[in-house]
Amino acid sequence: MRSLNIGATGMLAQQTNVEVISNNIANMTTSGFKQQRAEFQDLMYQNIRRPGSQSSDAGTIVPTGIQIGMGVKTGSVYRIHTQGSIVQTGNELDIAVNGAGYFQVEMPDGTTNYTRAGSMQLNADGQIVTADGFPLLPGLTVPQDTITITIDATGQVQVKIDGQIEDQVIGQIQLAQFPNDAGLESVGNNQYRETPASGAPVVGNPAIDGFGRIEQGSLEQSNVNVVAEITSLITAQRAYEMNSRVIRTSDEMLSALSNLR
Amino acid sequence: MENTSLIALSRAVTLQRQMDISANNVANMNTTGFKAEQPLFIEYINRPAPDEKYSLVQDYATLRDLSAGPITQTGNPLDVAIEGNGYFALDTLDGTRYTRGGNFSMDSERQLTAAGGLPVLDDTGNPITIPANARDINIGPSGIISSGNVQIGQIGIYKFENEQFMTQLGNGLYQTDQTATEAEDVVIRQGFLEDSNVQSIVEMTTMIDINRQYQNIQQLMKTEHDRLRTAYSKLAKLA
């Protein structure tokens, strides 16, 4: 009975589907999170009679053949990198990218990770760091006695220092873009890593050459659509039940067979 | 003498195969671009003697239900669904393959690829490369890809004389020797995917039906076995 195994592949695939959906729902309020989607593909086919093969010496051909599929597999789980909604928080170090591009984050081992989550902080040395304490690239240090920090749409960071009349420019936030966003590797903590599939990053200043604008005092919310996730969850659960039904039916057929004399 | 058992056996074998096909349909309930299949049975007449004949059942073919699957919105700009009869063409090492699954993405060379990294071919049979400066990618109803006012290419949509002749290779791919012609009367929907056209209720009732028929056939085999046994024992007593 192939149908027993086919039902099992279906249950496995739907389990993956539920796992992906539950991760999306769990991250519905994670800033900068991009929803994922599981994509399924049919498995190979067993050709019991190949379509187009000859069925007689006179050259008559089998119209459609007999091909029996072997079930389903998870083809890919990919991220949908659409823009999340931007909400105002009022915090001067909360920055959101409106458009394409990732913030670059320097990891302790010297490599660069990429993130869309812009809830930045200051560390003890006055450096602008992510919520996990990793410095933003290129590095930006806010001098002491700073009263306000202003980040404009092009990523220029200006500070107003106590006792000075003119604002002082301390640096420039740069963004990175990838040829293929979907090829980035997720490493957790809202961060992504470059892979051969994503291509090499192109670094540039915000608001020009197709890079997104920087919005100060705002955060990008996750792009998870909860209503869509709940309906997908219902579909996945029903599909799971129906695949288990396939297994039960196959089992009943086998049991009828074994009860035969 | 054994004919009844042979007839029952031919039905039991085809029922198992029908169950396999139904199980594959249910497993692919959520597979993008999947088409439900059903077996086609024919009567096979056996003539053991000139004045004697009986029919067996034979599974002759599997037929694909070629109706359109429901189209659902994903919001991904590179997800496209075909409304109407037509297939996307993909370039593989073994030649061109065709698919209904429009969940495309870009590879690191900025080529438009389908699931599995196979390049999607345009209306002239060449891969489509999206320029590095292209941002908001727009795919029109006729498959024309553009960014702003710049036209990048056109996704090729092909149709065939007889879609049932196409061999399935798995991964949503089809192979055929038929000549591909450009499909007309098709509409491309950007940000949508075509779901599987498996109707779960139909599959569930089919499965119940298969199960009951299988039990009936087993009962028939049992009755026939009992009949033969009685006949043999009575004949043995007479001898």
Tell me which residue in A13, A42, A183 faces B170 most closely, judged by beta carbons. A42
CB contact under 8 A, A76 and B169: no
- The CA distance from A158 to the nearest CA of chain B, in Å, is 29
Nearest CB among A41, A63, A196 relative to B31 is that of: A41
With a cut of 80, say whether residue A64 has pLDDT above it.
no
Share of chain A above pLDDT 90, in %: 58
Residue pairs spanning A and B at CB distance below 8 A:
208
Q: Look at residue A223 in the predicted model and tell me its pLDDT.
A: 92
* pLDDT number for residue A75: 87
Q: Say if the Cβ atoms of A64 and B215 lie within 8 Å.
A: no
Q: How far apart are CA B112 and CA A252, in angstroms?
A: 47
Q: Is B49 left (phi over 0), alpha (psi -120 to 50) or beta?
A: beta
d(C-alpha A83, C-alpha B119), whole Å: 26
Give A 69-88 residues with CB within 8 A of chain B.
69-72, 75-76, 78, 80, 82
Location of structure tokens 């420039």? A172
Report the distance separating Cα A222 and Cα A83, nearest Å: 8
Which residue, B231, B85, B210, B45, is CA-closest to A246?
B210
Residue A234 forms contact with B (CB below 8 Å): no
Rounded to a whole number of angstroms, the distance from the CA of B11 to the nearest CA of chain A is 13
Closest C-alpha to B39, from B5, B11, B70: B11
Whether A51 shows a pLDDT value over 80: the answer reads no
Q: Cβ–Cβ of A196/B108 closer than 8 Å?
A: yes
B105 at the A interface (CB within 8 A)? yes
What pLDDT does A63 receive? 67
Cis-peptide, bond into residue A138, ω within 30° of zero: yes
* Dihedral Cα B182, B188, B190, B191, nearest 10 deg: -110
ipTM: 0.76
Mean pLDDT for chain A overall: 89
Task: Choose among A79, A90, A72, A91: nearest CA to A32.
Answer: A79
**Residue A54 predicted with pLDDT over 80:** no
Please judge whether B172 and A41 are an interchain contact, meaning their C-beta atoms are less than 8 angstroms apart. Answer: yes
User: Does B146 touch chain A if contact means CB atoms closer than 8 Å?
Assistant: no
Structure confidence by residue, pLDDT tens digits, A140-199: 999 888 889 999 999 999 999 888 888 899 999 999 988 878 888 999 889 999 988 888
Question: Quick one: pLDDT at residue A68?
Answer: 87
Considering only CB atoms, A39 lies closest to which of B32, B214, B225, namely B32
Best of B16, B26, B209 to substitute, by most chain A Cβ atoms within 10 angstroms, is B26
Q: Which of A7, A52, A198 sits opposite B23 (nearest CB)?
A: A7
Residues paired with A125 in a beta bridge: none
Place of tokens 């049992």: B222
Residue B124 CB neighbour total at 10 angstroms: 8
Q: How far is CA A37 from the centre of its chain?
A: 8
Chain B from 54 to 93: CB within 8 A of any A CB: 59-64, 74-77
pLDDT along chain B (239 residues), means of 10: 84 92 93 92 86 87 90 88 93 92 86 89 91 81 88 92 88 90 91 92 93 92 91 88
> A80: nearest CA in chain B?
B76
Q: What is the DSSP string of A68-116?
A: EE--EEEEEEEE--PPPPEEE---TTBEEEESB-EEEEE-TTS-EEEES
Residue with tokens 């092009």: A154
Average pLDDT over residues A54-79: 80
pLDDT in the model for residue B14: 92
Report the largest interatomic distance among the alpha carbons of chain A, rounded to a whole angstrom: 101
Residue A104 has a pLDDT of 95
Beta-carbon count within 10 A of B20 CB: 26
Chain A residues with CB-CB distance to B60 below 8 A:
62, 66
Please state the pTM of the whole predicted model. Answer: 0.83
pLDDT score for A260: 76
Cβ–Cβ below 8 Å for B211 and A50: no
Task: Check CB contact under 8 Å for A64 and B63.
Answer: yes
Helix (H) or strand (E) holding B60: strand B52-64
Is there a contact between A14 and A23 (Cβ–Cβ < 8 Å)? no
pLDDT of residue A197: 80
pLDDT tens digits, one per residue of A183-240: 889 998 899 999 888 888 989 999 888 889 999 999 999 999 999 999 999 999 999 9
pLDDT confidence tier of residue A62, bands split at 50, 70 and 90: low
**Residues in chain B within 8 Å Cβ distance of A61:** none
Ramachandran area for residue A217 (φ above 0: left; ψ -120 to 50: alpha; else beta): left
Q: Do B170 and A45 touch (CB under 8 A)?
A: yes
**Pair type for strands A191-193 and A185-188:** antiparallel
The pLDDT tens digits of the residues spanning A75-129 come to 888 888 889 999 999 899 999 999 989 999 999 999 999 999 999 999 999 999 9
Cα–Cα distance measured from residue B156 to residue B114, given in angstroms and rounded to the nearest whole number:
13
